Every structure is written in structure tokens, then in C-alpha cells.
Amino acid sequence: MRNARFSNSLSYRQAMISVMVAFIIGSALSFTQVIYDLYREKERLEGNILQVMSILKDPAAQALYTVDRQLARRVVDGLFEYRTVHYASLVDDFGDVYAERHVPLPPGAFRDLFIRLTGTQTEFSLPLQSPRSDRVLGHLNASLDTYGEMFSFFDRAVVVFVSGMMRNIALAICLIIVFNMTLVRPLLKMISAIASRSPGSGGEPIRPPKGHRQTEFAQLANGANRLLDEYESALQAKQEAELALREHQAGLERLIAERTEELAYLATHDQLTGLPNRVVFSNQLLTALAHGERNSTMVALFFMDLDGFKHINDRHGHATGDRILLAVADRLKKTVREEDLIARMGGDEFTLLLANITRIEDAFAVAEKLVAEFDRPIRCDDALECRVGLSIGIAFYPIDGDRPEQLLSLADDLMYVAKRSGKAQFVSTQHSEGATLRPHQRQLSPISSAPIA
């Protein structure tokens, strides 16, 4: 009879209902949270690698377009900044592998099973288009090892699910004890007191109802206070961890941006002088020719080579040669207009592009100024100054041709004519008869270097 009355009591019924509701809702919420976290984790993993590959798309295409295997290796190495990448390659449209890198997979007995269960994409391939057309140059490929990330996720999911269930069961047991030892009204007051204290609010501590200062209500109040304090501490720790994670992520993003900017710069500029390289010059030449055709203006292409540089470089070493090249680049930039393009083609060869000119004499005036500028010696260091000259070949669009390679080849040939004819001068097909080598021709003393007194 006593057991029958107990099973029909309000305390017992509410306790059982609380147990069932807590179990069902807790299970549903835990399962929903796990599914949601799994979806977000997959999105994060796949989104991160796609973002990294998208950032590296232009440098990768540039590497294929310019046949720059060193740049290709840097692009592939850049993918490994993302820690889940275990294989990456850059392949052209003929199947030629420009660069690849592979990191052995760590052991994992359930690797394939985890990938099937989570449906996480592990193979990515990004087509790379030519910067000058829609033609596909090749593909940037990456393979992810999501086993470690997803295995850690499932570990956390199990902990969340089990801890949630244990917490719900513990709460149900507490409710059963409370309902069996007290009346409903004091219990409701106690619940109201607990509910009135929000985590992180720093409110008054929970106190037991009157008449229960020495009963389990006091213990429940103390336990609830400790739980809230611990929860507030855990909440603060979580916020600090999230802040640290955001700062770390921001640092990684800055690093990726810096590396991407560095790769882009290296792909388009000479590393020593900082001048645009052959690729940039060729692209700008095409643009200038198209603009000249539309506007019926001329384009002048200067091909320049230093006179006597090899002798100085061999005699005083590459360090001195590098200082001369830096000084030459600085003089060239200061001599021409800001909108004129100077590029280093390699070695001691430089090019200059004058666009939108209307008179040949304007180009000759610039050439005169350049040759005269290099009459002055270059200070190599505190005790040494060097003297180099400048030989220039000039080709004009549309007079000498309308194709970039045709103009470059002609300007190069004319530069060698200038060298063979005495150096330190410029040569063009547009001089008057009998004066082909005339504009700025000087007899230089043998190019030498001498210490400053």
C-alpha cells in the first residue's frame, strides 16, 4: 500500500515526468548539437582550403604562364600553411607536374570509415586560366587529411552527448530526492530562486526556503551556487579561449595575406632592383600598342645595356655589381617620367616603354638625357666609384613594326649596333641618312673604376 501511495503521489509523478522529459529533450538537443557542429566543421574545413586555393590562384596561374617552377614550388608550399593538407601539386594542361609536395598520412584505423560517415570532401582541384585568355593552363590540386580533425570532433561530440545525458540524469535524481523529502511549494520557491540567478549576472547567492536551513535544501542551494560559480568561471574561460582563437586565426590570415602578396610581387618584379620584370613589361607593351592603335599615337621601345659592367663585375665581385645595378635602376627612374615603364630584362639589360608619344624627337630627347646621365660615375662604396656607359637601341610603333616580339628584337639588334659603333649612344632606324649613329655619340675613355682620392 505504501508503495502504491508513493507511486500515485504528486512528487513521484513530477519526478518521473521530469526524468522522461529531461532524457528526451537532452538527447534531442545533444544529437541536434552534434549534427549542427558536424555540418559547421565540414563547412569550415572545406571552406578554408577553398579560400586558401582561391588566394593562391593568381600566383599559380602566373607560374604556369611564365613557366616559373620556383614560383610554382612557393605556391604549393603556401598550401601547406593549412595544416590539414597532406598533398598538393601544380600541373599544367599537358599533365606536366610543375611542383608537388606530399606529407605521409599518420596511422588511422578508421580513416576511410570516418570520411564516409562525415561525407567530407578530401580532394580539391582548381582550374587555372591564362591571364590573357580563358584558356585553362592547368590545375592546382590539394588533398586533405580530415581524419585528425573529424576524429577530434567526434571525441568532443561523445563528451558533449554523454556529459549532457549525465547532467540530465543527475538533475532528475536530484528532483526525485527533493520531491520525496519536501512539499511542492517550497520546491517551487527553490526552483524560482535558482531560475532568478542568471549565469554571469553576479546576483545574490541562492538561499534555501525558510524552515530548511539545515536540510537538503541548504545543500541544494550551496550546490547550485557552486555550479553557477563554476559555470561562470567556465564561461569566462571559454570567452578567453575564443578570443585567443580569433587572434590566432587573424594571425594566420595576416600570414597568408603577406605570403600571397610576397608571391605576387616576386612573380612580377626583379628581386634585386625592384623594377618590373619581363612578364610585366610584355603585358604593358601589349597594352601600349593597343592604346596606340586606338588613338593613332606612337610607342617607343628602348632596349638598354650597360657598357663595361661585366669588367667591373668580374674585377670587383658580384656585391659591387649589385650596387651598380641598384644605382642604375635609381638613375633610370629619376631620369624618366613617372608614367614611363622601366623594366629589368636580366643581367645588365633594361628596357623602357614610352607610350602616347606624338614625335620621334621626344623619344630622342629622352635617350639623350639617359646617355648623358651615365656620363657621371657611380659611387660603389665609400672608397670606390665606377664608370659605366649606356648603349640604347630604339624601335618605334608603328614605324618599325606592330608586334611586340618584332619591336623587342629590333631594339635589341639596334642596341648591339650602338655597342659595336662606339658605345654610350643610342641608335634608331629613324636617323637621317649618314647619321644613323649620331644622336648622342661620345668617345668614352676605357670604362674603369678608380678609388676616390
Given a contact cutoff of 8 angstroms between Cβ atoms, the answer to whether 266 and 330 are in contact is no
- Higher-confidence position of 106 and 304: 304
- Does the structure show a pLDDT above 80 at 446? no
- Higher-confidence position of 415 and 146: 415
- Higher-confidence position of 194 and 438: 194
Q: How far apart are CA 448 and CA 407, in angstroms?
A: 32
The pLDDT score that the predictor gives to residue 447 is: 29
Neighbour count for residue 211 (Cβ, 10 Å): 10
Residues 378-386: what's their mean pLDDT? 81
The pLDDT score that the predictor gives to residue 204 is: 72
- Does the structure show a pLDDT above 90 at 25? no
Lowest mean pLDDT segment, chosen from 13-17, 85-89, 100-104: 13-17
The pLDDT score that the predictor gives to residue 398 is: 95
- Does the structure show a pLDDT above 70 at 44? yes
- Higher-confidence position of 453 and 450: 450
Q: What is the pLDDT of residues 130-187, one digit of tens each?
A: 877 778 889 999 888 776 666 566 666 677 667 777 777 776 676 666 665 556 777 7
278-451: what fold?
Alpha-Beta Plaits (3.30.70)
Place of cell 538561499: 207
DSSP 424: S
Q: How far apart are CA 291 and CA 355, in angstroms?
A: 8
The pLDDT score that the predictor gives to residue 439 is: 40
Distances (CA, A) of 180 to 12, 66, 177, 336: 7, 82, 5, 95
- Does the structure show a pLDDT above 60 at 207? yes
Q: What is the pLDDT of residues 255-291, one digit of tens each?
A: 888 887 888 888 899 999 999 999 999 999 999 999 9
| pLDDT category of residue 194 using cuts at 50, 70 and 90 | confident
The pLDDT score that the predictor gives to residue 9 is: 62
| pLDDT category of residue 351 using cuts at 50, 70 and 90 | very high
The structural domains of the chain, with segments of one domain joined by +, span: 278-451
Which runs of consecutive H residues, i.e. helices, occur in 182-215? 184-196
| pLDDT > 70 fraction of the chain, expressed in percent and rounded | 79
- Higher-confidence position of 14 and 279: 279
